Amino acid sequence: MDTISVGPPRAGVGGDLADPRFWAAGAISTTIVMLIVLAFLTVDSLSVITAGGRNVPAYDVINRHIGYEFNWARHRDVPVIGGLEPLFGQTVTEAEAAALMEKGKLVIQSRACMDCHTFFGNGAYYAPDLTKSWLDPAWENIWMPMTGKATREAAMVEFLMHPDQYPTWNRRMPNLHLTEEEARATVAYLKWVSSVDTNGFPANFRTTKPDHAKQP
């Protein structure tokens, strides 16, 4: 015996679901809403990833000291932009810095550095990630004495022009025949990219000053 009363068929629900116009309207409104969300996310991402944006300093950051310190609130290492410390002792304008970045990027693309290295974790895992290479204590501790150069950037230029002559590891970087101008632009690029707030990536990176060793 049927004891469940379902009442009279409700007008609307069953009828709407059967109506193709209901589905068409649903598809169109969902698409419109998602396009608005996508547009918002695109604009928001651009403001985060563009040089001069929230997480990525403008190119003329190469005129400044870039530190890398443990941030207790975020519990990770973050770049700290300090006072004036011009690359190669020469302050550059924003336009000159942008030209250096353009050249550095072309060198990195033309020599396919990412066949061995990674930037932001993208690339090949044969050689170290280069995102924070500028901050690598090995420039001061190993390559400056090894190349006899007085500054980090001079040691980097020398290494990039003759990596086969200054090995520190069982894997060697081959000589990719960079001119001095190309090597200097590459160093400028490496300095800028190290200033990007990567949320602590790469996680196991060690800096000269182990600020994370001491709690404030």
Tell me whether residue 61 or residue 190 sits nearer to ligand HEC (CB atom): 190
Tell me how far, at minimum, the Cβ of 83 lies from ligand HEC, in Å.
24
CA separation for the pair 214, 189 (Å, rounded): 31
Tell me whether residue 113 or residue 154 sits nearer to ligand HEC (CB atom): 113
Tell me how far, at minimum, the Cβ of 90 lies from ligand HEC, in Å.
20
Neighbouring residues of 70: CB distance < 8 A, sequence distance ≥ 6: 76, 77, 78, 211, 212
| Residue that is written with structure tokens 């932001």 in the block | 120
Tell me how far, at minimum, the Cβ of 110 lies from ligand HEC, in Å.
8
Are the C-beta atoms of residues 186 and 178 closer than 8 Å to each other? yes
Tell me whether residue 53 or residue 167 sits nearer to ligand HEC (CB atom): 167
Question: Which residues of the chain form contacts with ligand HEC (CB under 6 A)?
Answer: 107-108, 111-113, 115-117, 126-128, 130, 133, 136, 138, 160, 167-169, 171-174, 176, 186
Q: Which residues of 126-143 are buried (b: 16+ CB within 10 A; e: fewer)?
A: ebbbbbbbbbbebbeeeb
- Greatest CA separation found in the chain? 98
DSSP for residue 214: S
Are the C-beta atoms of residues 79 and 66 closer than 8 Å to each other? yes
Tell me how far, at minimum, the Cβ of 189 lies from ligand HEC, in Å.
8
Tell me whether residue 45 or residue 109 sits nearer to ligand HEC (CB atom): 109
CA separation for the pair 69, 76 (Å, rounded): 8
Tell me whether residue 65 or residue 172 sits nearer to ligand HEC (CB atom): 172
Tell me how far, at minimum, the Cβ of 158 lies from ligand HEC, in Å.
11
Tell me whether residue 94 or residue 181 sits nearer to ligand HEC (CB atom): 181
By C-alpha distance, which of 191, 58, 198 is closest to 120? 198
Phi and psi at residue 54, in whole multiples of 5°? Answer: -65, -45
Are the C-beta atoms of residues 64 and 82 closer than 8 Å to each other? yes
Tell me how far, at minimum, the Cβ of 179 lies from ligand HEC, in Å.
11
